[in-house]
A = this chain, B = another copy of it.
Amino acid sequence: VLQVKLKSIMCVCVCVCVCVTDRTLVQIQDLTPAKADQLVWLRARVHTSRAKGKQCFLVLRQQQFNVQALVAVGDRASKQMVKFAANITKESIVDVEASVRKVELKIESCSQQDVELHIERIFVISQAEPRLPLQLEDAVRPDGEGEEEGRATVNQDTKLDNRVIDLRTTTSQAIFRLQSGVCQLFRDTLTNKGFVEIQTPKIISAASEGGANVFTVSYFKTSAYLAQSPQLYKQMCICADFDKVFCVGPVFRAEDSNTHRHLTEFVGLDIEMAFNYHYHEVIESITDTMVQIFKGLRDNFQTEIQMVNKQYPSEPFKFLEPTLRLEYTEALAMLHEAGVEMGDEEDLSTPNEKLLGRLVKEKYDTDFYVLDKYPLAVRPFYTMPDPNNPKYSNSYDMFMRGEEILSGAQRVHDAQLLTERATHHQIDLEKIKAYIDSFRYGAPPHGGGGIGLERVCMLYLGLHNVRQTSMFPRDPKRLTP
């Protein structure tokens, strides 16, 4: 039975594979007038299909590229073949042999506007079910557009529930190709600066950063936790003489926050480095890395940026060189001037962060800046206090379009001071023993920070929900697909 089933399912694949291994498939993006009158083979999805008398018009798609194709009754195609083509469901994958023809009138609805295909043979490689849970053209429609004609848009949960189809849209393809670029730019920049990539464990024995917001894992006969950040391990690597390290990997937050910018699992781009004389050496390394990412995206991902902008219009991302660095007290002064009432040692609320972002944009014309010297009271126990004013600390956040994308600091590298700071924060010393012990055998002054990949992509592109830049987002209410 399996044998028969297999033969039927794989018939095209097998026959194609056995018979025609020397066949060359062309890419849709390469279909230009230069190929006019050539006979080509290609594999593509049926994007749309419309039968009209003795003809069937198809739009064939590969990722963001598409081309018009035609099956017409005549020398090369029978009436049956036109009917067969008309019945192929949308999103099916087909192999076609076709002649490339120049067209007089540009085909505005396709990426390949100067040619169309006259199909001579067509095989279905994989048949899609007839009812799609969402339509691709609805999923890329800008909010509000076509409302009067009663055209639908697709809400976010439907998109995420059917992510495999939603990811096929030009918008999603562009977002995640750009995201891949962010990771590459991040790593390449740091590798060029002499950083070493490290891999840190995600299953940890103790909830080292205080114990709140941590997921518990059953681990054989005991239990363990999921790391909220690789920070403690990055620091151990610095104490182990790796000097400058980075890592890219998942971080986990068991926080019941249902907002546009919180995920329970996201990708951390983490940096840690020893410095010589001042923690501003660390800030400079990080801001320079961010600037290299912004430049790389601007210079190499314009197609993707434009594609996302079609559905989600936004202003181009602005940044300065060198990066603007403000001190917390300066920021407070700007907020006070704008009428905000808040105390000197109070943390910034999300609305105040956004307001500050707008004030900074007006005054300095930048979407990216560093806020330095946070009050010590609002930072974790391992943050180095400011030696000149212990009300403040050698710590910083970085912002894109008024939202936080990085949190970092000089770390306490002295075991005794670290013990005191942990005690002050009422952290169980027994649980962070291994961490504190790392600093007992010589530790250089060091600092670093952690960047949220999804936030960087969301804010660079001017999107409004971090779920759009996470392929398979996880939040308190979503664990699938």
Give how many A residues have a beta carbon under 8 Å from the other chain's beta carbons: 111
B-contact 0/1 string along A95-134, CB 8 Å cutoff: 0000000000000000000000000000001111100100
Q: How far is the CB of A275 from chain B (nearest CB, A)?
A: 9
Q: 16 additional contacts, CB 8 Å, given A21-B277, A126-B443, A164-B239?
A: A5-B420, A6-B387, A20-B277, A128-B441, A166-B240, A167-B241, A168-B241, A172-B240, A180-B198, A199-B250, A199-B470, A200-B471, A202-B252, A233-B471, A236-B472, A237-B471
8 Å CB contact of A164 from B13, B236, B453: B236
| Distance A226 CA – B438 CA, assembled complex (angstroms) | 29
The answer to whether B168 and A197 touch across the interface, beta carbons within 8 angstroms, is: no
Count of identical protomers in the assembly: 2
Q: How far is the CB of A450 from chain B (nearest CB, A)?
A: 15
* A444 contacts across to B, CB distance below 8 A: 43, 93, 125-126
Asked if A146 lies at the interface with its beta carbon under 8 angstroms from chain B, I say: no
| Distance A456 CA – B46 CA, assembled complex (angstroms) | 41
8 Å CB contact of A184 from B187, B224, B479: B187
Asked if A10 lies at the interface with its beta carbon under 8 angstroms from chain B, I say: yes
8 Å CB contact of A177 from B167, B196, B276: B196
Q: A202-B202, A217-B215 are in contact. Are A442 and B240 (CB under 8 A)?
A: no
The answer to whether A219 and B224 touch across the interface, beta carbons within 8 angstroms, is: no
Interface residues of A (CB under 8 A from B): 2-3, 5-7, 9-10, 13-14, 16-17, 20-21, 23, 25, 43, 45, 62-63, 91-93, 125-129, 132, 163-168, 172-173, 176-177, 179-180, 183-184, 187, 191, 196-205, 215-220, 222, 224, 226, 233, 236-237, 239-243, 248-250, 252, 254, 256, 264-265, 267, 276-278, 385, 387, 390, 413-414, 416-417, 420, 434-435, 437-438, 440-445, 453, 470-474, 476, 479-481
* A63 contacts across to B, CB distance below 8 A: 241, 243
Please give me the residue from chain B that is nearest to A274 by CB atom: B43
| Distance A437 CA – B125 CA, assembled complex (angstroms) | 17
Q: A91-B441, A441-B128, A445-B125 are in contact. Are A203 and B252 (CB under 8 A)?
A: yes
The answer to whether B201 and A472 touch across the interface, beta carbons within 8 angstroms, is: yes
Q: How far is the CB of A66 from chain B (nearest CB, A)?
A: 12
Q: Which A-B residue pairs are the 3 nearest by beta carbons?
A: A167-B240, A205-B479, A434-B481
Please give me the residue from chain B that is nearest to A165 by CB atom: B441
* A473 contacts across to B, CB distance below 8 A: 201
The answer to whether B215 and A216 touch across the interface, beta carbons within 8 angstroms, is: no
The answer to whether B43 and A201 touch across the interface, beta carbons within 8 angstroms, is: no
| Distance A254 CA – B220 CA, assembled complex (angstroms) | 7
A-B contacts, 22 listed (Cβ < 8 Å): A3-B390, A5-B417, A13-B387, A14-B387, A16-B277, A20-B277, A125-B444, A126-B414, A126-B444, A128-B440, A128-B442, A129-B440, A166-B240, A176-B242, A180-B196, A184-B191, A187-B187, A215-B217, A220-B256, A220-B476, A224-B479, A236-B481
